[in-house]
Structure 1
Amino acid sequence: MSVTTDVKTYFNYINGEWVAASTDQLDASISPANRHEIVGYVQKSGKDDLDRAVEAAKHAQIAWRKLSGAARGDYLYKAANALERRLDEIAECMTREMGKTFPEAKGETARGVAILRYYAGEGMRKIGDVIPSSDSEAFMFTTRAPLGVVGVITPWNFPVAIPIWKMAPALIYGNAVVIKPAQETAVTAAKVIECFQEAGLPAGVVNMVTGPGSVIGQAIIDHPGINGITFTGSDTVGKNVGLGALKRGAKYQLEMGGKNPVIVANDADLDQAVEATISGGLRSTGQKCTATSRVIVQSEVYEAFKEKLIASVKQLKVGDGLHGETWMGPCASENQLNTVLSYIEKGIAEGATLLYGGKRIEDGELGNGFYVEPTVFENVTSKMAIAQEEIFGPVLALIKVETLEEAVEIANDVAFGLSASIFTKNIGSMLSFVNEMDAGLVRINAESAGVELQAPFGGMKQSSSHSREQGQAAIEFFTAIKTVFVKP
């Protein structure tokens, strides 16, 4: 029985209205902190519902693109204000629905506010250049045209920030949006969409359809009325998105995770490195695509670093993210918990040494949730599954090396290339790391998980489709360059 007294059903948002799906089927959004608590119900929509949303978006985009950038920006400012007014409410919902701590959820929601305001300002920036023509009587310049309707497919780990950092640039550059949020966090997503509704965006400019990825996600991939798809999620699903979009000539953008290393050099500030490793690897229960997963440490400082790391990890308080003393919340779902536990078993089976953690927490009230102990392995080799595959959980793999050259070689020895960091005081080591690391985001003396909204974000190798999100780089995906030649 649910402990929640007021459980609401959240509908699709299509053409400016909250409407029931054609299927009459619902999913319960379960709190990972307490599997007996239902946060809300969301619809398991069908293809017909997606078709309605796309048709509404196509119609609305015609007028939306004709507005000035400043006028579109005004709507985003209003959405930012609405989100800011509801910051605590939406952050609490996020914590209840996916488990991250309330301070982290508030920080993410505040970031959503900042993203909206940033892109509102983009409506006043230049969108082209004047280019000299070989014809002395002609005038030639470039401008940018929106793609049209953009399909947005987002994951559960950042249910406010990721939808907004995709929708905001799509909207400011004149596109209409159809979003399919992760079903696990669709209640939080619905509250974000309510902020766009409160901002008064014209009907059909923003639409949301909930449902399984196999149905709604696939319908977005296949729909001829969707001109571009921006996706964040697993590499397996992302490749399916890319192949489907390619087949019908739609533009696509994929962000597909990472296996992110931190290198600790002999001259590193070990206290700083330990703090950043724990923050980068274990905050949000390790459920970040930029989370630190591999910790590559030079042998001279390995034992000292390990001792400090384990001592700090032992101090971490695991519990309900709404409790003030909690440092790390539960895994976001039972499926994710089981995935993490399966990788811990693989690590042990392959010969890694379990230094700390590794078990599901089942004591007292925590037994009702999807909690796992923060986990640290050592004697990890680069070819082990826990050193190669994305776990998306609070698992750190320690790898001892002799030289920085060996450290960088191991850091690059994975299919992914999203983020990486190094701790060193040597400027030469810093520059070598920057030049040789195959990652889209490299950080010096800082955790791997830091991403700033005004800077381009994306990965190399299997981490992305090689485009970039956020900052001014977003214009490259959400628009097409149009060259204009004028002659009297």
Structure 2
Amino acid sequence: MTVSTKNNIYSNFIGGQWVESSSGDVIKSINPANTNDIVGYVQNSTKQDLDSAVASAKKAQIQWKKLSGAERGQYLYNVANVMEKRLDEIAECATREMGKTLAETKGETSRGIAILRYYAGEGMRKVGDVIPSTDQEALMFTTRTPLGVVGVITPWNFPIAIPIWKVAPALIYGNTVVIKPATDTAVTCAKIVECFEEAGLPAGVINIVTGSGSVIGQGIADHPDINGITFTGSNGIGKQIGQSALKRGAKYQLEMGGKNPVIVAADADLDLAVEATIAGAFRSTGQKCTATSRVIIESDVYDAFKEKLLAKTEEITIGDGLKEGIWMGPCANKNQLQTVFTYVQKGLDEGASLVFGGEQPKGNEYENGFYIQPTIFENVTSNMAIAQEEVFGPFIALIKVDSVKEGLEVANDVQYGLSASIFTTNIAHMLSFINEMDAGLVRINAESAGVELQAPFGGMKQSSSHSREQGEAAKEFFTSIKTVFVKG
């Protein structure tokens, strides 16, 4: 299947057909590793295009929800099989659009395939419970009913996994979908939707409409026929979408920012802590909502940890993620690169000490890309902007503390509460961390980034709307409970 046969232009997918936008306008998607490389063009869609997609999804949902869970699950199995055959193609496209290394995008594509198969199996699991009734001649039980049409708004940092971990549960529980991907990675999302088309999903069950957030994203939030909205992105946009959905009574799910800490106790395995800190902070160029952003170290091991950290950071190779031997790619776009540079300057202005990076690497191969070195600051205090605000780049702040207790206080001293980790061999420290850390994901002796697909994922405080994605927890958002009372 191909989205378009000319000029590398990718269309919207509405009602089972690839169609151009009513605007006649397109948006260019470029490779952040080499801005001369145009990955493709996607539609700059209008509200009219969105209305058409929603109408198709609403119509298709009437029959889709009537299928058994097993029947819907078989479609997801088929999608997984198609995607598996196209793994290399999809991964390469994602690297060209977003910039992370090919090894990372291959892993992300494999994760997307596994998510599809997991939720395919979910179609055979229970959807309710029998509840004792006070009336001995009655039967009372619960079942679950789909929301209807779900709007899916996804970011550019995980262009494969995030769309799939939203779309797959939405579909298995009987909803239909209109997805608006980030324009920076909309070609990758179009290739994913192609897999659904090739797997034979009924027309209108999945639809993709590309375009600006102000038109299509806000249009999804405002649309009277969209019953639920699942969003991953920035706090500002997320809150705006939540407020719009709340006004009209639509269900919404927001996953937003993080300022994720790692605590390194004096008894930690420092080599393990360093490896995990680097992976958590600098993989995907730090562009993960769960990326390590603050490293809080007990003073007794601060100097030893810092020395090991700097030595390992020196070994990181930067460049085009499609090339062999590259460990870290560019920032995903010019705006994100500029944001990182802005926080470098903020750190210097606040009196923190730049001990590594903070500049564009030197060399001709970096001139046409959005590259920056891994960046490490020390002499950071918790009230500084670089310790409080999400940077979303390869950027960490080192904070020295005198105890694990103080480290926990510093770790919690932010508006976010997405993920956190501690490195320690002390069970008491582990238990204190588990009980006292205000985060939706806590990890012991492991990097802050990453959660297994069968486990609930979501944040506390300003990191989310307090709902959870992935695993069985997904059905709490994508369905409503219906209580049934039967009396003969």
The TM-score by the shorter chain falls in which range?
A: over 0.9
**How do residues 239-278 of structure 1 correspond to structure 2 at under 5 angstroms?**
239-278=239-278
Match of 2:87 in 1: 87
Partner residue of 1:476?
476
Q: How many angstroms apart in 1 are the aligned matches of 2:275 and 2:365?
A: 29
Partner SS, residue 177 of structure 1: strand
Match of 1:21 in 2: 21
Partner of 2:78: 78
**Residue aligning to 1:211:** 211
Q: Paired residue for 2:401?
A: 401
Q: Partners of 1:212 and 1:435 in 2: how far apart?
A: 42
1:482 partner SS: strand
Q: Is the 8 A contact 2:40 2:187 kept in 1?
A: yes
Secondary structure, counterpart of 2:224 in structure 1: coil
> Distance between the aligned counterparts of 2:367 and 2:430, measured in 1?
45
| Separation in structure 1 between the aligned mates of residue 48 and residue 347 of structure 2, nearest angstrom | 45
Identify the residue that residue 3 of structure 1 maps to in structure 2: none
Confirm or deny that 1:138 pairs with 2:138.
Answer: yes
> Within 5 Å, which residues of 2 pair with 1:174-323?
174-323=174-323
User: In the aligned structure 2, how far is the partner of 1:273 from the partner of 1:249?
Assistant: 45
Separation (CA, whole Å) in 1 of partners of 2:7 and 2:271: 45
What is the Cα deviation at residue 257 of structure 1? Answer: 1.6
1:461 maps to a residue whose letter is K
- Structure 2 distance, partners of 1:414, 1:170, is 32
How far is 1:360 from its partner?
A: 1.7
Distance of aligned partners of 1:157 and 1:182 in 2 relative to their CA distance in 1, 3 Å threshold = same
- 2:136 counterpart SS class: coil
Identity %: 72
- 1:440 aligned residue: 440
Aligned to 2:163: 163
Alignment TM-score, normalising by the size of structure 1? 0.98
Query: How far apart, CA to CA, are the structure 2 residues paired with 1:219 and 1:57?
Result: 15
SS at match of 2:400: strand
Shift of 1:7: 5.3
Question: Residues 71-97 of structure 1, C-alpha deviation per residue, up to 9 Å, x if partnerless?
Answer: 000000000001110000000000000
- Secondary structure, counterpart of 1:358 in structure 2: coil
Counterpart Cα distance in 2 of 1:63 and 1:462: 38
| Counterpart residue identity of residue 42, structure 1 | V
The number of residues matched between the two structures is 483
Inter-partner Cα distance in structure 2 for 1:178 and 1:137: 44
Query: What whole-Å deviation, never above 9, does each CA across 1:304-349 have from its counterpart, x for those lacking one?
Result: 0000000000110000000111000000001110011101110111
In structure 1, the residue matched to 2:9 is: 9
| CA-CA distance at 1:361 after TM superposition | 2.5
Letter in 1 for 2:201: L
* Corresponding residue SS for 1:164: helix
Structure 1: any 5+ residue segments left out of the alignment? Answer: 1-5
Separation in 1, partners of 2:360, 2:214: 30
Q: Which runs of 4+ in 1 moved over 4 A?
A: none
8 A Cα contact 1:362 1:368, kept in partner: no
Secondary structure of the residue that 1:306 maps to in structure 2?
helix
CA contact (8 A) 1:100 1:329 kept: yes
User: Aligned to 1:355, what secondary structure does the other structure show?
Assistant: strand
| Corresponding residue of 2:3 | none
Q: Is the 8 A contact 2:319 2:365 kept in 1?
A: no
Aligned to 1:110: 110
Query: 1:451, CA displacement in angstroms?
Result: 1.0
The aligned amino acid for 1:435 is N
Partner of 2:382, secondary structure, is coil
**Aligned pairs (5 A) from 1:364-443:** 364-443=364-443
- The alpha-carbon deviation at position 14 of structure 1 amounts to 0.2
Distance in 1 (CA, whole Å) between partners of 2:149 and 2:52 is 13
Counterpart Cα distance in 2 of 1:365 and 1:287: 22
Give, as a single letter, the amino acid of the residue that structure 1 aligns with 2:470. Q
Matches within 5 A, 1:316-395: 316-395=316-395
Q: Is the 8 A contact 2:57 2:205 kept in 1?
A: yes
CA displacement 1:382-432 (0-9 Å, x = unmatched): 011110001000001000000111100000000000000000000010000
Structure 2's unaligned 5+ residue stretches are 1-5
User: Which whole-Å CA distance do the structure 1 matches of 2:383 and 2:192 have between them?
Assistant: 41
Q: How much has 1:363 moved relative to structure 2?
A: 1.8
Q: Tell me the distance in 1 between the aligned counterparts of 2:8 and 2:108.
A: 24
> In 1, Cα distance between the equivalents of 2:19 and 2:360?
40
The answer to whether 1:122 aligns with 2:122 is yes
Distance (whole Å) between structure 2 residues aligned to residue 280 and residue 373 of structure 1: 15
1:275 partner SS: helix
- Alpha-carbon offset, residue 362 of structure 1: 4.6
Instruction: Report the 3-state secondary structure (helix = DSSP H, G, I; strand = E; otherwise coil) of the residue aligned with 1:396.
Output: strand
Asked if the contact 1:341–1:360 (Cα under 8 Å) also holds between the matched residues in 2, the reply is no
Flag the 1:7–1:315 CA change in 2: closer, same or farther, 3 A. Answer: farther
